[in-house]
A and B are shown apart, each in its own frame.
Chain A
Amino acid sequence: MARTTTTRRGLLSGLANGLMTLPAAVVYTGLTVVPVGYAVYYSFTQYNGIPSQAPTWVGWENYARIIADPIGDLRPAAWVTLVIAVVGAFLVNGAALGIAMLLRRTTAFNTFARAVMFYPHVLSALIVGFLWQAILGPQGAVNNLLENAGQSTLPFLADPDWALVTLVGVIVWAQFGVQLVLYLAGLQAVSPELQEAARLDGANGPQVFRHVTWPALAPTVTVTIVTSILSLLKVYDVVLGLTNGGPGDATQTWAYEILAVSFANNKVGLACAQAVLLVVVAGILSFTIIALRRRAEEGAEAVG
């Protein structure tokens, strides 16, 4: 008797628990999980997305098309995205950490400077793209200054290699502010006593950074690298504003291929296969980084 009550009680409270999670589960499942399921299904079909026309099952054809890349349009996009993710993450974190070291003490001047470093993040990426387009375009502010000074203009957006470098630069300009805040928070957690002790032992600035500050920042570094790579893998808005993928296909990212090329040309099957691959790559990259960083973080606990 007592036992059944307990079971019933457990069951009921389990149900009550389930209901507490229901709203979140419904919204998340309905509009994230189900679409991912749809994406996986459509990725195995040829489908133009028009409701009155049915998808045809084509097996792995879309994936084969992406991997074989018969017309060489997707590999450049993968390359561009990789450059943005790797170089961009490196620069974003380098800039953020470097400036965080400069601004770690809370003074009125530093508070002002922190806000100045952060502000591009409250402008949307699309607006950032348009703004820099107007500054660096062939007839933009910088080139007009050069021309008026009798210099030759610079192909910031007109040359494929320059355009990619410009794009990465603009992304770094707009994004490092968030990582800066995270690093500043991480630096607050570094024990001042430990740094002081290291100094008393005769360590100089760089040595203190290398042996005390850097290991203690390890968990922050993991978070900032993973978040910046995740956001850099899906760069789209800023491309739209800055170069619209050009010149040629020099700045077409993977997300641009999905939204502005495949989907815009009614190739929903291919677009979904590309999206599925991106999700898989993002997941693999994130977990690899987290796994690789685990050792560094264990070191952090030892130091902290």
Chain B
Amino acid sequence: MTRTTPIRTAFRVGLVAVLSIAMLVPMYIMVVNAFKPQQEILLSPLGFDLATLTTDHIAAAWQNTSFPVVEGYAVTLFLVLACNVVAIGASVPAAYTIARTPTPLFRFLLFFFVAGMFVPAQIILVPAIFVLKALGLMGTLPGLVLFMSSTMIPFTLFIFSGYIRMLPRSLDEAASIDGAGRQRILWTIVFPLMRPIVATAFILNALSAWNDFVSPQLILGPGSQFRTITTGVYAAVSTYTTNYEIVFPTLLLAVVPILLIFVLMQRHIMGGLSAGAVKG
């Protein structure tokens, strides 16, 4: 590090700048073309003519009944929160018990949960439909939340138990001698210490819930009044993939809010991920 010369620094900065621009070009194409008529998108995909820029197509996409933007966002946000509440809420006590009970039974239990990490969620959807149907939860948001949470539990529990194992046992033993109950020790002493790893789990689960398409598509089905962002975009765009007057504005509406959230929360999101990577 001491030997970095100005030329090498300049080269490095230049390379990173070029790569960053390459990453951003698709965004630029999407934004510019969302405001142009089809003919112009075809003639000059990168340029724009201030005179013919129009918000008509954005307005049309906003009003498209296949993809109700605001409701789509509300449903997706609800999924993100509800899945995290269930997955984290269920994983904390389980991970605590497993980490603090060094018997073969609980070691096996950890293995039992961890095995789930190798089961791709969308692949077991077909049989999961039969289970949800038996429970009467098929086609409902709670059914969807339970299914998505169950696929998050293995990883969440795995990183939680690893983290709790690193917390000094003397902490909860001291509290236990003071007469505190197990639940109280867990939620008032251990849980606050788990903040970094909970943040990591929350972010990872949130990203997977946010981006999930197959689960809401199959579990909610056409009968449901609920659309997530992904199923809404699919309904609005899939039969018109080359009608760019529909594609670009719809995609723009779908990504702008999440990108804003990302820009605002960027430090926390990426920081949370790397915190988990170091400790987990």
Contact = CB atoms under 8 A, between A and B. Distances in A.
Contacts of A28: 113, 116, 150, 153-154
A284 to B, nearest CB: 9
Contact of B237 (A120, A130, A278): A130
A145 B45 contact: yes
B271 to A, nearest CB: 9
Interface in B123-155: 123-128, 130-133, 135, 146-147, 149-151, 153-154
Contact of B244 (A21, A134, A192, A278): A134
Contact of A181 (B23, B115, B274): B274
A115 B93 CA distance: 34
Nearest to B243: A134
A134 B241 contact: yes
A125 B278 CA distance: 27
B118 A27 contact: no
A174 B235 CA distance: 22
Interface stretch (B11-19, B49-57, B191-199): B11-19
A27 B259 contact: no
A127 B255 contact: yes
B175 interface: no
Contacts of A105: 1
Interface stretch (A57-65, A160-168, A228-236): A228-236
Which bucket holds chain B's interface residue count? 35 or more
B150 A23 contact: no
A123 B258 contact: yes
B230 A126 contact: yes
Given A23-B93, A275-B124, A114 B210 contact: no
Contact of A126 (B93, B151, B153, B233): B233
A144 B124 contact: no
Interface of A: 16-17, 20-21, 23-25, 27-28, 30-39, 42, 49, 51, 99, 102-103, 105, 109-127, 130-135, 137, 139-142, 144-145, 148, 173, 178, 181-182, 184-186, 188-189, 192, 195-196, 199, 220, 223, 230, 233-234, 236-237, 240-241, 255, 258-259, 263, 268, 271-272, 275, 278-279, 282-283, 286
Contact of A122 (B43, B210, B238): B210
B63 interface: no
Nearest to B44: A148
A24 B259 contact: no
A115 to B, nearest CB: 5
B174 interface: no
Contacts of B118: 230, 279, 282-283, 286
A143 B25 CA distance: 15
Contacts of A140: 45, 242
Contacts of A30: 131, 135, 146, 150
Interface string B194-219: 00000000000001001111100000
A145 to B, nearest CB: 6
B233 to A, nearest CB: 6
